[in-house]
Amino acid sequence: MGDRWHVEVDRGVCIGSGMCVNHAPGAFRLDSARQSRPIEGDVDAGEAVLAAAEGCPVEAISLALADSGEVVFPPEE
């Protein structure tokens, strides 16, 4: 089985651009306040979710390995 990622959106930072929903509609949705939330806490690792995190204009999305908690995105400096 492939990796699972734990997804978080920092709602204090999200500006509701909707880009993550465009990249990965299976993983993110905009709520009634036009802020993104993960549809599920953990998702299958994949390009679409990574593209969503990378494409967020305010870096509100973080990804970590679900089992170990190791940070996947943003990359550590």
Q: Which residues bind ligand SF4 (CB under 6 A)?
A: 9, 14-20, 36, 56-58, 60-61
Rounded CA separation 14/3 (Å)? 26
CB of 68 to ligand SF4, least distance (A): 24
Tokens of 64: 């970590």
Of the pair 58, 67, the CB lying nearest ligand SF4 is at 58
* C-alpha distance from residue 6 to each of 20, 32, 33, 67 (Å): 15, 23, 23, 9
CB of 76 to ligand SF4, least distance (A): 20
Tokens of 28: 């993110």
CB of 3 to ligand SF4, least distance (A): 21
